[in-house]
Amino acid sequence: MYQLSPSILAADFNCLGEQIRQVEEAGVEWLHIDVMDGAFVPSISFGMPVIASIRKNSSLFFDVHLMIEEPGRYIEEFKKSGADMLTVHAEACKHLDSTLREIRKAGMKVGVAINPGTPVSQLECVLDLVDMVLVMTVNPGFGGQSYIESCTGKVQKLRKMITDAGLDVDIQVDGGINEKTIDKVLDAGANILVAGSAVFGGNIGENVRRLKERMERR
C-alpha cells in the first residue's frame, strides 16, 4: 500500500478547510497533522482544537505526528479530537513501550518516529507494537527544509529489519520529500510519503496528481 500524506503545516491556515477539501478531491486518503510543543522541537504549531475543527468536514485518515515531550499524557485527548493514528517520537518517551501500547488500547493506529540522529536499531524492541515507523528525513520543527541524504540508508536498513522479522509495518518518510527526492525514498522501501511544501506550494491538485503518479508507477 502506498499513500501520500500531505502535511497541513504548509497549508494556508486562513483557508485550511478549503485546502483540505482540495487534497481530498485530488484523490488523497491520508492527512499529515504536525503537532509541535516548543519543547521537543523549537517551534509551536497547533493542537487538539484545530484537529477537532477540521475533523467535522473531512473523512480523510488523520495521521497525527506528535513532536511533543511525553505524548503519553495526551493520548485520550487526541483520540477525542479525531486522530486515527498517533505517531510519537522514540526520543520523547521515557516509557516508549507503554506509550505505544496505550495508543493501541485507545483504538488508534500506532506509529513511532525517529530523528535523523537516532539509529534504527533503537526500534528493535518495539517493532512488533507499531503499524508504522516514521523515519524523519529532516530534523523536525519546520517545513521546507532539505532532505538529509544519510536517511536513505536508514530506510533501507529498517525495511530489511521489518522483512527479516516477518512483520507488516509501513515506513513513512517526512521532510524534504518532493519530485526530486521521491524516487530514492521509494526505492529504499518507504511506502507512506509526507509532503508539505511540495503539495501546498502552488497548484494543490496538480502537485498531488504529479506525486501520486510517481507512486502509482511502482
Contact positions vs ligand DX5 (CB under 6 A):
7, 9-10, 32, 34, 65, 138, 140-145, 174-177, 194-198
d(CA 30, CA 61): 5
Would the annotation count 143 as a binding residue? yes
Task: Assess whether 34 carries a catalytic annotation.
Answer: yes
Which 136-195 positions form the footprint of Zn ion (CB under 5 A)? 174
Q: Name residues contacting Zn ion, limited to 75-134 (CB under 5 A).
A: none
What are the cell numbers at 80?
477525542
Using CB under 5 A, pick the residue from 3, 37, 64, 65 that binds Zn ion.
65
Closer residue to Zn ion in complex, CB, 37/174: 174
Considering beta carbons, is residue 101 or 145 the nearer one to ligand DX5? 145
- What is the distance between the alpha carbons of residues 155 and 209, in angstroms, rounded to a whole number? 25
- Position of cell 519530485? 179
- For this structure, is 170 an active site residue? no
d(CA 160, CA 181): 21
- The entry of Zn ion, ligand DX5, none that residue 197 binds, CB within 5 to 8 Å by partner kind: ligand DX5
Answer yes or no: is 141 a known binding residue.
yes
CB 72 within 8 A of CB 94: no
**Is the CB of residue 148 less than 8 Å from the CB of residue 176?**
yes
CB 124, min distance to ligand DX5, A: 24
Largest Cα span, the chain? 46
Q: Is 34 a known ligand-binding residue?
A: yes
Axis crossing angle, helix 16-25 with helix 48-55, rounded to the nearest 10:
50
Q: Binding site for a divalent metal cation: what residues are annotated?
A: 32, 34, 65, 174
Active-site positions read 34, 174
Q: Binding site for substrate: what residues are annotated?
A: 7, 65, 141-144, 174-176, 196-197
